[in-house]
A and B are shown apart, each in its own frame.
Chain A
Amino acid sequence: MHITIKVNGADRSADVEPRMLLAHLIREEFRLTGTHVGCDTTSCGACTVLLDGRPIKSCTMFAVQADSREVTTVEGLLQDGQLHPIQAAFKQEHGLQCGFCTPGMMLTGTALLAENPAPTDEEVRWAISGQVCRCTGYMNIVKAIQAAGRDMAAGPAETADATVAS
């Protein structure tokens, strides 16, 4: 089946079997490997992407279901060489170690902040409760998402350390 999905703002097309999972389309067809496949059981959320702005587990959706819809992957956070505030915050707050869960955590973080710009610890933990991190114990993930919220509320001039080192 021929499908077209707007991925990180650009139309991407592919001919896929209906059984192809969205996670595999993203990784193997579109070569966007920031989205990870972790558990195969819809538990870990390493495959989380945004579908029309909402976090979904791309290992539990067929690519054909996303036809003519919008998908945001972690690669879509970078804008013109500038780190998204959530990326800068994860760097600043040491919100990652191995990085495997990080793309999903950052995307869920941005979706949360769009609805709730100043979430409490409890609210962040609730929002990421569909995702597993084996490294960090979640503390710095929570701090990073909250820091990003503060940075985004303060405005672009205030965002620290936002340039990608070349």
Chain B
Amino acid sequence: MLPSRFEYHRPDSLEEAMHLLAEHGDEAKVLAGGQSLIPVMKLRLAAPAHLVDIGRLGLDTIAEADGHLAIGALARHRDLERSDLLKARYPVMAAAAPLISDPIVRNLGTIGGSLCHADPAGDWASVMLALQASVVARSTRGERELAISEFLQDTFTTALEPDEIVTEVRVPQPAGASGGTYLKLERKVGDYATVAAAIHLSLSDGTIERAGIGLTGVASKNLQPTDAEGSLAGAEPTEAAFAEAGRLAAEASSPVTDVRGSADYKRHVVDVYVRRGLARALEMARAA
């Protein structure tokens, strides 16, 4: 289908964009890469009266500063995929980027757009949960930083006010010995994940300091299985500990039976991926 009619605005600055959102409020949607919004508009599941195109406003740097990795909201998936910084220091992100959608979509899709779209089958949100990241939202009223767990509220629902734009994603810099990965099961490239898991592990003197887990496609929003994470905090990184974490993560998941698999199958994949991901993360953390 074709999208319904809308008024198109292409502001020359972030300030102008914020004023447009302040003016049009919840009749407006922000257009970044459009790789989630336009398909939804073509299905007429969304029919905003105003689109504010921020695609040319820059906001795409990827750099470390002040103890965190600062990623501009308009950083394209392809840029994150090719980033040497991510490959060297943020392995969970480096593992996830090439698995998002397909290479052509990755030329346009943005990390900010993905997080704001808040599809529980979206990949970046799980990564950000595992890494305890935050997002910076700006409006004419000011700026605020929200923890990702606070930002993601429900299916396609975030804590953003209608006049706010996400400008930056902040990821804490890794502690000494850490590692991580993103494991994604999909029927084919470009399909949504059947199940995916973002795993982060940091060690302190050989024991687990923190485990971060973010799960894709198993709940009404990207899921952080806190019981599984809690079971690992301060524990010895053994196969048994990982098996228990996998079991707890699967228990915390509530996937639906659909064309991609039964709920039981998906829970099983959660278990396998959490165990496998933790083993890989441990190898990396020990090598660090």
Contacts and interface: CB of A to CB of B under 8 A. Distances in A.
B210 to A, nearest CB: 33
> Which of B6, B103, B105 has the most A CB atoms < 10 Å from its CB?
B103
B99 to A, nearest CB: 11
B108 A42 contact: no
Interface string A31-65: 00000000011110100100100111100111011
Contact of A18 (B6, B101, B108, B189): B6
Given A129-B102, A130-B189, A54 B39 contact: no
A165 interface: no
B8 A1 contact: yes
Given A17-B5, A130-B190, A62 B104 contact: no
B52 to A, nearest CB: 12
Contact of B34 (A1, A62, A67, A126): A62
Contact-residue size bin, chain B (C-beta under 8 Å from the other chain)? 20 to 34
Chain B contact residues: helix, strand, loop or mixed: loop
Nearest to A53: B107
A146 to B, nearest CB: 17
A56 B6 contact: no
A41 B3 CA distance: 13
Contacts of B6: 18-19
A78 interface: no
Contact of B190 (A43, A65, A108): A43
Nearest to B5: A19
B95 to A, nearest CB: 15
Given A40-B42, A42-B35, A65-B34, A57 B1 contact: no
Contact-residue size bin, chain A (C-beta under 8 Å from the other chain)? 20 to 34
Contact of B107 (A43, A56, A65, A131): A56
B104 A130 contact: yes
A127 interface: yes
Given A19-B5, A65-B53, A56 B38 contact: no
A60 B8 contact: no
Interface string B60-91: 00000000000000000000000000000000
A146 B53 CA distance: 38
Given A40-B42, A62-B34, A65-B53, A130 B105 contact: yes
B104 A55 contact: yes
A66 B31 CA distance: 13
A51 B56 CA distance: 14
Interface string B1-27: 111111110100000000000000000
A21 B2 CA distance: 8
Contact of A60 (B4, B35, B53, B55): B35
Pairs A-B, 5 closest by C-beta atoms: A130-B102, A18-B8, A130-B104, A129-B189, A19-B3
Given A21-B2, A42-B38, A56-B104, 20 more contacts: A18-B8, A18-B51, A19-B3, A19-B4, A19-B5, A19-B41, A40-B1, A40-B42, A43-B190, A48-B104, A55-B103, A55-B104, A55-B107, A62-B8, A64-B53, A65-B31, A67-B10, A108-B104, A129-B102, A129-B103
